[in-house]
Amino acid sequence: MSGFLKSSVGQKFLMSVTGLFLIVFLAVHLTANLFLLFGDNAFNTVSHFMETNPLIQIMQPVLALGFIIHMIYAAILTLQNMKARPQSYNKFEQGHSSTWASRNMFILGALVLIFLVIHIMNFFWKMKVSGSPLLAEVDVDGVMMHNSYALVAGLFTNADFGLVYSIFYVLGAIFLGLHLHHAFWSALQTFGWSNNVWRKRLEVVGDVYAVIIAAGFSIIPLYFLIFM
Ligand code: HEM
CA–centroid distance, residue 221 to ligand 1 (Å): 13
Q: Which residues lie below 8 Å from residue 202, measured CB to CB, with a gap of 6+?
A: 184, 185, 188, 189, 193, 194
- The answer on pLDDT for 88 being more than 70 is no
Residue in 45, 119, 158, 175 to alter for ligand 1 test, most ligand atoms within 8 A of Cβ:
119
Does the CB atom of residue 152 touch ligand 1 within 6 A? yes
Q: How high is the pLDDT of residue 188?
A: 86
Q: What is the per-residue pLDDT across 55-68, written as a single tens digit (0 to 9) for each?
A: 999 999 999 999 99
Which domains are seen in the chain, by residue range?
A: 2-227 (1.20.1300.10)
Pocket of ligand 1 contains residue 147 by CB under 6 Å: no
CB-ligand 1 contact for 116 (6 Å cutoff): yes
The CA distance from 116 to 73, in Å, is 18
Centroid of ligand 1 to alpha carbon of 103 (angstroms): 27
Q: Which of 161, 83, 96, 88 is nearest to 122 (CA)?
A: 161
Report which protein residue has its CA nearest ligand 1's atom 13: 124
Q: Tens digits of per-residue pLDDT, 97-141?
A: 567 777 888 899 999 999 999 999 999 999 999 999 999 999 999
Residue nearest atom 9 of ligand 1, based on CA coordinates: 123
- Out of 22, 123, 220, 224, mutate this one to test ligand 1's pocket (max ligand atoms within 8 Å of CB): namely 123
Question: pLDDT of 173-188, one tens digit each?
Answer: 999 999 999 888 888 8
Q: Which residue has the higher pLDDT, 90 or 23?
A: 23
User: Angle at Cα 108 formed by Cα 104 and Cα 112, nearest 5°?
Assistant: 170
**Do 161 and 167 touch, CB atoms closer than 8 A?**
no
92 has pLDDT over 60? no
Q: Of 34, 36, 124, 212, which is best to mutate to test ligand 1, by the most ligand atoms within 8 angstroms of its C-beta?
A: 124
Q: Which of 228, 227, 119, 110 is nearest to 170 (CA)?
A: 119
